[in-house]
Amino acid sequence: MLNSQRVSHYAARLALILAFAVTFVLCAPALADTPDETFKALGLAKTASPKELYDALTKRYYDESQGAGKGSFSKYWEPIPISKYLNPHDFYMPPQTIDIDAQRAQCVECHSQVTPGWTHSWKGSVHGNLDAIRNLPDSDVRAYKKAMITEVENNLRSMGTLKTGENLKEVGCIDCHMGVGKDHGQHKTELRMPDAAACGQCHVQQFAERESERDTFTWPQDQWKPGHPSHALSMKANVENAVWAAMEQREVAEGCTFCHTPQTTCNSCHTRHEFSAVQARKPQACAICHNGVDHNEFEGYMLSKHGTIYQTRGDTWDWNVRLADAMEKGNMNAPTCAFCHMEYQGKFTHNMVRKSRWAFVPMPKIAENLNHPWFTQRKESWVSTCSNCHSDRFARAYLDGMDKGIVSGLDITEKARSVLVKLYNDKLLPGQTTNRPAPPAPEKDDAGGFFQLFWQKGNNPSAIEYVFADMWEHHQIKHYKGLAHMNPGGYTYTEGWSQLIGAAAKINDEDTKLREAAEIRAELKRISGQKRGDLDLDSPTRRAIAGGLGLLAVLAGAGLLMRRDRKGG
Amino acid sequence: MLNSQRVSHYAARLALILAFAVTFVLCAPALADTPDETFKALGLAKTASPKELYDALTKRYYDESQGAGKGSFSKYWEPIPISKYLNPHDFYMPPQTIDIDAQRAQCVECHSQVTPGWTHSWKGSVHGNLDAIRNLPDSDVRAYKKAMITEVENNLRSMGTLKTGENLKEVGCIDCHMGVGKDHGQHKTELRMPDAAACGQCHVQQFAERESERDTFTWPQDQWKPGHPSHALSMKANVENAVWAAMEQREVAEGCTFCHTPQTTCNSCHTRHEFSAVQARKPQACAICHNGVDHNEFEGYMLSKHGTIYQTRGDTWDWNVRLADAMEKGNMNAPTCAFCHMEYQGKFTHNMVRKSRWAFVPMPKIAENLNHPWFTQRKESWVSTCSNCHSDRFARAYLDGMDKGIVSGLDITEKARSVLVKLYNDKLLPGQTTNRPAPPAPEKDDAGGFFQLFWQKGNNPSAIEYVFADMWEHHQIKHYKGLAHMNPGGYTYTEGWSQLIGAAAKINDEDTKLREAAEIRAELKRISGQKRGDLDLDSPTRRAIAGGLGLLAVLAGAGLLMRRDRKGG
Amino acid sequence: MLNSQRVSHYAARLALILAFAVTFVLCAPALADTPDETFKALGLAKTASPKELYDALTKRYYDESQGAGKGSFSKYWEPIPISKYLNPHDFYMPPQTIDIDAQRAQCVECHSQVTPGWTHSWKGSVHGNLDAIRNLPDSDVRAYKKAMITEVENNLRSMGTLKTGENLKEVGCIDCHMGVGKDHGQHKTELRMPDAAACGQCHVQQFAERESERDTFTWPQDQWKPGHPSHALSMKANVENAVWAAMEQREVAEGCTFCHTPQTTCNSCHTRHEFSAVQARKPQACAICHNGVDHNEFEGYMLSKHGTIYQTRGDTWDWNVRLADAMEKGNMNAPTCAFCHMEYQGKFTHNMVRKSRWAFVPMPKIAENLNHPWFTQRKESWVSTCSNCHSDRFARAYLDGMDKGIVSGLDITEKARSVLVKLYNDKLLPGQTTNRPAPPAPEKDDAGGFFQLFWQKGNNPSAIEYVFADMWEHHQIKHYKGLAHMNPGGYTYTEGWSQLIGAAAKINDEDTKLREAAEIRAELKRISGQKRGDLDLDSPTRRAIAGGLGLLAVLAGAGLLMRRDRKGG
């Protein structure tokens, strides 16, 4: 639809593209495109040099009061050997078995023998072939990388790691693993596993964009804490999760950590040692984390029209084109994860949460505030994104329908929650009063809580609580994600709605059964009491049974007699 | 196997290919290949002109008594904003915000700015490059499209929208969105969203083929209504579904509609605005609808030998080759969805249901009639299809085994049904007599009915009914689809058989438990009654409990006392 | 990490590659690379000729006491028509409808008409184009196939089916389907469906490698029988499975057989009639069997970093390169199934089980012996494999963590098993004493046994046993496979751990409920007995109910009265 908003949007896009180009040419200030919110949060002027910006970003990045380190549950858990690769800044120590002073050239030499995969990937990467990029004709779709190299050199000069007039020769092992521009280093003491800040030394803008997720994502009604949920604070989200910290099976818990690494490393999306931009542009790069029972974005996308076109026509697209040019120059005629989620007001950056509204999980606190300007402005940004290929009217029709569909799912979930919580409050869950151990600290007991998907003991959780945890954390989220990614089966029958219906049916069914069973027990006690004043329904026998310890002889005898009679009769 | 049937089959194939070629050359009559059944149903001679055929097809296509419109449940539901894109003929209205008289050239001009994705797709399509096709050498695998352009021009001349001697210059926005050959039109009033009939103006043959599904699919024992289930009446199937019409969550219900659009648009398989034939040839084009819990054809295919070869070798096939030549010229050495399902007696058309036997869901009415000629002739057509790559004997061995395997699944499903229905008839389902609301009109109550997968309230459905609905509608269908698509895990353990076994086990288990509970309640009532003449098991207290309204104080006191005793004891 | 082990590993690899090359040049002895264990098992010296090796291998291959034939349950089942294609040696008979003496050239001639797919595949295969391979320049990545042709000719000369000085002209239909080098044969009597031994006539080394799985896989504490689980004895594993033999639904059971064919045919991985090596190198070739509910290796891989790189960058790899050169010459920068599982100590062979430790399913007998040298040596072999791309330290950290994660899953499964077995021993499972038919022979009853996933009748299995069978056979295995294939969601929430938690919660919940129900029944019996000496709780009425036969009138009257009262009240 041609309207003033779209027009102004395109004008803004054009202006920004020009601004972007100018940035590269002038090289100062470094990061005019980083959101204002981040400059403000860091206390910097927008004229800050790359070094000033990088130093401020890094200081916050390593600040344990702002998301680094083991977090507030640190006393409950310890890292395991694999942890050093997932959160290198906090846990990595060089191996003590290799005691050499390694020269720059030696790294590839030796590792071509011991870990050839590393060096092959690097040799095929841009890092290993800077001059190949520099020599590209301007007509090559990858020519934009020439400007990126210039930008990196400008950053390094600002930081003092590259001299004026000097060009970057290569990005070798030692630059990332010991220090940019170093000639040699002690393998045993100076080796480091690069974190996002290490990449940020050269790629200041991309680092700043990613870090800006902390600043642009402040919820108007505190639905989530500032900066959450986001890639920038993904590791913080992990270590601040009570059941994660509480689990004694650290190797299983560390499985969660594998996906919570975008805060600590760039390797999550740009796999070492090729660090391919093409890889990160493809939906499968996102799929490694964004799949499965509680965030099936990938599955939804693949079974949408968008994913269908990607799968059937994507082999004719030129993936080397940068996102901003993908439609125009790359023949891309359907969106990818990166195209829609990295775009904001016509620009493509590493801040993926500027349009987020429902975020991770539908909540009443979100549903009730969708008309607040914070939410409506974000929806308008989505309309603008969709308008790359759809009419304004189509976009609004879909987005409004999506919101209503999510609210319908939320309604059924919240009704089920009230039934379950009432059972819990009435102490009617199986074994609730006799065999319900509390979860280990720092986790606390809760009816149908998140922790019940990862920990169990005795009658905690009861079967129906697991059903409910599965409902709100999985089915409800998949319902929303199916709607958000235009996968009809994902919010009607295969996932989403039908699963919510089934869970609600099970919860109501169990509610009826547990209350009828309580009625029977009460009636039985009344009768027994009337008949025999000395009836002791609280005998050790009964407690043992209720505690799951088995039938003692006397009762077992009676019970089995009853059944054996039947069989023999 | 070389036998007379195969020989005659090949002779027939050859004859038909010749007939096909002749059709293109002579250009009249237009549609010698459209099934006789369709000519008969439309009251046309096979010598009918393209215009006569198109007019007759379109008249029926828009006939509300034959599948168009809101259907017999129309008073129960209203379209929502997105509906206009799913059923444009019935619901689309142009946007009122754009009030211009648009000239032919202006469409692309303006929309290249406001919705650039549209125009990019169109520019890369055949529609946007007719001359590029016309200039292909005959040796090019896409050269067959030259004949298609000629055919289209013949159709348009027949309809009077192209003058004799005039060639089609382009297929631009205005041709589909306002009228073929128009020069300009009022955006606010004349804009339309094309339906299948709009495409059919040019592509009469393909439209006729698709529409012929109505005519060739008449079941001998009325297992399904004529023409069902098919793409041609897919929207009718949607609006005539009672629970779909009954659901108050229209945004969720409309998710079903997204896949029921092959009746209303060609966009379901040939995505606008590229309308790529290559796309529609790839299995992922079908997957967008044919996936998931109740029709997992895509998943089955991908995990079959056929799908394995497609996935591992398909990148060496030439997808631009038309289906009929795919093996010979395209290096295709495994079938795709389109290859097997569009083929019938050696020809490839848009009628996909000429060989269907089990259709959507196994039913006793089908299982009991497999030896009827209607079914055996369709099986013979499958043998012919499989014989492209397999021996006649292999094809029969597999198809017979498939039928038996499906019947085995049906047996277990029907046994479970009888157990469930007996529980329902005996009024033993949890809350059945106290808290079972009827579903909203036009849906009606039913034990384990389809509606229970999409609607629930109180104790409707009971948990075990949902299990059964899941069994017959999902596990049973997946069992069949796994067999039909040669995915062993799809009918043994991952899906199908093992899931049917599990559902049957759950249903028998619940049957035992519900009947034992009834026995206990009856015995308790007997004892209570004997003991105390004034025992009122029908007190408000009990009714409240059974109704899920919670324990009243007096009973709760007794119940909790009993449990608290245990804990404290 | 540079350590002596890695160095010696690379030295060994180099030596073996040289040995490999020498083998091709000298052509005798044929199979220096076949494991020593196999020569020993066959009673051959390593200097054995190709013929000697092939004869010994084939003798064992067809020995019914060593895995061929119908197995020890043979009297319980019969093959069905499709079986002849799955186990051709035991069940294939030529079709009796074609009675011709077929000449070599006639095969393709006739089958190009009746089954064109066969001949198209063959025409595009190496078999159909030997000279095209012979004419490749040495620089071509497929040039290694020249040496393979020479090796095949050497084998055939050793067996006397190719004369000295004669070269192989083609590998035509008749060579595999009637006999190598034959000119003609009777279609009705001489036609055969090739088994693995038929392929082995030419490909002795590959056949020997595959057969060596029998010899290298002998478990130190008899966790599995020698050679199990492996491809080489996969059909034996099928026919020795009691519930497979017991199932009356042979068409469903034969679904299992489809994946148990690597013993009986090479077609499982190298699909006829292209027999593509490229196909078998791609993960989807393995996926056809290694997917799904009880061995989701493919799904795990695809959602791992490895699979992500394969999916996003694999289109830039040269798949025609042989595995040993894939990284160096093929640009492969992530592992595939074949790369890791065919590799052993730097060599790539068709023995895929030389590094197996956890094999198919985690068991206490494995968990308790991981420090035994048999297991530690296999782990070291994995470290060496991973070191292609990862540091020794990373590999050990991951592998150790994987082991611990698997043990955590095993713990929870075994705890649940003890709860379930106690219920069974206490005869408390629903209907256990009244309606639990034994499974058909040769299967035997078992609490939560494997058979319960495929067979059910009455109350066997109970619902909770199905949950447990699903737990140990599916969730536990997926937990392990998710860990083993680096798919975080596969062992934390989507599959694995969270599913194990859920199953354990359900089992404890059911335990509590069944024991409380028994208590109520016992109490009710006690009260009834006290009240009325003549109370007969073993009446036919009750037996009928317990047996699922419905409520007889008298009881139904009472029960319904009770409920009707409630409703009417």
Tens-place pLDDT, residues A5-45: 444 444 444 444 444 443 344 445 544 478 999 999 999 99
| Alpha carbons C224 and C361: distance in angstroms, whole number | 10
Confirm whether C122 is domain-assigned: yes
**What residues in chain B have per-residue pLDDT under 70?**
1-32, 531-569
Of A260, A250, A229, A225, which is closest to residue A76 (Cα–Cα)? A250
**Domain carrying residue A125:** 4-294
B160 touches chain A (CB under 8 A): no
Q: Provide the 10 A C-beta neighbour count for residue C557.
A: 12
> How sure is the predictor about A535, in pLDDT bands with cuts at 50, 70 and 90?
very low
Q: What is the count of structural domains for chain B?
A: 1
Cβ B397–C556 below 8 Å, yes or no? no
Name every residue whose Cβ is closer than 8 Å to that of residue A425 and which is 6 or more positions away in sequence. Answer: none
Of A150, A167, A156, which is closest to residue A26 (Cα–Cα)? A150
Q: How confident is the model at residue B144, as a pLDDT?
A: 96
Chains that touch A (3 or more CB pairs under 8 A): B, C
Cβ A397–B527 below 8 Å, yes or no? no
Instruction: Please report the sign of the dihedral spanned by the C-alpha atoms of residue C143, residue C144, residue C147, residue C149.
Output: negative
* C228 known ligand binder: no
Per residue in A130-157, pLDDT tens? 999 999 999 999 999 999 999 999 999 9
Cβ B315–A313 below 8 Å, yes or no? no
* A256 known ligand binder: yes
Of B262, B310, B264, which is closest to residue B288 (Cα–Cα)? B262
Q: Apex CA A78: angle with CA A73 and CA A83, to 5°?
A: 110
> Within 13 Å of residue A189, how many CA atoms lie on the same side as its CB?
5
Q: Are residues C443 and C552 in the same domain?
A: no
Contact between residue A164 and residue A157 where contact means Cβ atoms under 8 Å apart: yes
Provide the CA B500 distance to its chain's centre, in angstroms. 23
Of B300, B535, B254, which is closest to residue B402 (Cα–Cα)? B300
| Alpha carbons C365 and B474: distance in angstroms, whole number | 38
Q: Minimal Cα distance from C528: which residue of B?
A: B527
User: Between β-strands C184-186 and C101-103, what pairing exists: parallel, antiparallel or unpaired?
Assistant: antiparallel
Per residue in C471-490, pLDDT tens? 999 999 999 999 999 999 99
Residues 402-441 of B with CB under 8 A from C: 402, 404-405, 408-409, 412, 419, 422, 426-428, 432-434
Of B472, B413, B334, B482, which is closest to residue C254 (Cα–Cα)? B482
Residues 531-550 of A with CB under 8 A from B: 531, 537-540, 542-543, 546
| Alpha carbons A305 and B285: distance in angstroms, whole number | 9
Q: How confident is the model at residue B360, as a pLDDT?
A: 94
Q: Are residues C498 and C557 in the same domain?
A: no
Final residue before a domain boundary, out of C248, C282, C304: C304
Confirm whether C325 is domain-assigned: no
Contact between residue A196 and residue A208 where contact means Cβ atoms under 8 Å apart: no
A63 touches chain B (CB under 8 A): no
Place of tokens 């094999």: C359
Q: Are residues C168 and C212 in the same domain?
A: yes
CATH number reported for the structural domain that contains residue A192 in this entry: 1.10.780.10
C506 touches chain B (CB under 8 A): no
Q: Apex CA C40: angle with CA C39 and CA C43, to 5°?
A: 85
Of A209, A267, A219, A236, which is closest to residue A57 (Cα–Cα)? A209
Name every residue whose Cβ is closer than 8 Å to that of residue C452 and which is 6 or more positions away in sequence. Answer: B501, B505, C446, C460, C461, C465, C466, C469
Q: Minimal Cα distance from C294: which residue of B?
A: B494
Measured between beta carbons, the chain A residues lying within 8 angstroms of C1 are 95, 97-98, 114
Contact between residue C447 and residue C424 where contact means Cβ atoms under 8 Å apart: yes
Confirm whether B402 is domain-assigned: no
H/E/C letters for each residue in B17-35?
Answer: HHHHHHHHHHCCCCCCCCC
Confirm whether C345 is domain-assigned: no
pLDDT mean over A530-546: 43
Report H helices in A27-172.
Answer: 36-42, 50-61, 83-86, 88-91, 104-114, 116-123, 130-134, 144-159
Name every residue whose Cβ is closer than 8 Å to that of residue A248 and which is 6 or more positions away in sequence. Answer: A440
Q: Apex CA B190: angle with CA B184 and CA B191, to 5°?
A: 90
| Alpha carbons B245 and B70: distance in angstroms, whole number | 10
Total CB pairs under 8 A between chain A and B: 250
| Alpha carbons C453 and C433: distance in angstroms, whole number | 21
Place of tokens 């041709």: B175
| Alpha carbons B468 and B24: distance in angstroms, whole number | 53
* B27 known ligand binder: no
* Exposure b/e, C116-126, CB count within 10 A at least 16 = b: bbbbbbbbbbb
Q: Are residues C46 and C133 in the same domain?
A: yes
* B228 known ligand binder: no
Confirm whether C380 is domain-assigned: no
| Alpha carbons C498 and C471: distance in angstroms, whole number | 11
Q: How confident is the model at residue C547, as a pLDDT?
A: 37
Q: How confident is the model at residue B528, as a pLDDT?
A: 86
Contact between residue B506 and residue B471 where contact means Cβ atoms under 8 Å apart: no
| Alpha carbons C147 and A148: distance in angstroms, whole number | 47
Of C183, C225, C175, which is closest to residue C201 (Cα–Cα)? C175
| Alpha carbons B114 and A8: distance in angstroms, whole number | 11
Q: Apex CA B482: angle with CA B478 and CA B487, to 5°?
A: 145
| Alpha carbons A492 and A409: distance in angstroms, whole number | 10
pLDDT mean over A68-90: 98
| Alpha carbons B214 and B262: distance in angstroms, whole number | 13
- Which of A434, A512, A526 comes nearest B566 by C-beta? A434
* A295 known ligand binder: no
> Within 13 Å of residue A127, how many CA atoms lie on the same side as its CB?
23
Per residue in A449-494, pLDDT tens? 999 999 999 999 999 999 999 999 999 999 999 999 999 999 999 9
Confirm whether B562 is domain-assigned: yes
Provide the CA B352 distance to its chain's centre, in angstroms. 11
CA distances from B520 to A260, A516, C519 (A): 52, 11, 12
CATH number reported for the structural domain that contains residue C530 in this entry: 1.20.850.10
Contact between residue A273 and residue A125 where contact means Cβ atoms under 8 Å apart: yes
Final residue before a domain boundary, out of C304, C326, C347: C304
C293 touches chain B (CB under 8 A): yes
Q: Are residues C441 and C557 in the same domain?
A: no
Per residue in C488-508, pLDDT tens? 999 999 999 999 999 999 999
Q: How confident is the model at residue C529, as a pLDDT?
A: 81
Two tokens, residue A63: 């600040």
Q: Are residues C115 and C177 in the same domain?
A: yes
Confirm whether B560 is domain-assigned: yes
Two tokens, residue C477: 């295995």
* Average pLDDT over all residues of chain A: 90
Cβ C292–B494 below 8 Å, yes or no? yes
pLDDT mean over C329-347: 96
Of A392, A388, A280, which is closest to residue A335 (Cα–Cα)? A388
Percentage of chain C lying above the pLDDT 90 cut:
86
DSSP B169: -
Confirm whether C357 is domain-assigned: no
Report H helices in A448-496.
Answer: 463-470, 476-484
Of B129, B92, B97, which is closest to residue B267 (Cα–Cα)? B92
Torsion of CA B345, B351, B355, B360, to 10 degrees: 170
Contact between residue A128 and residue A170 where contact means Cβ atoms under 8 Å apart: yes
> How sure is the predictor about C528, in pLDDT bands with cuts at 50, 70 and 90?
confident
Phi/psi-derived region of residue B181, left when phi > 0, alpha when psi is between -120 and 50, beta in every other case:
left
Tell me the three state secondary structure of residue C343: strand
Q: Are residues C55 and C93 in the same domain?
A: yes
* DSSP H or E run through A103: strand A101-103
CA distances from A500 to A153, A464, B453, B477, B500 (A): 54, 14, 9, 21, 21
Q: Which amino acid is at A475?
A: H
> How sure is the predictor about C531, in pLDDT bands with cuts at 50, 70 and 90?
low
Q: How far is A245 from chain B (nearest CA, A)?
A: 30
CA distances from C381 to C7, C281, C376, C387, C497 (A): 14, 21, 9, 10, 27
Q: How confident is the model at residue B215, as a pLDDT?
A: 98
Contact between residue A68 and residue A62 where contact means Cβ atoms under 8 Å apart: yes
Residue A1 has pLDDT above 60, yes or no: no
Contact between residue C214 and residue C229 where contact means Cβ atoms under 8 Å apart: no
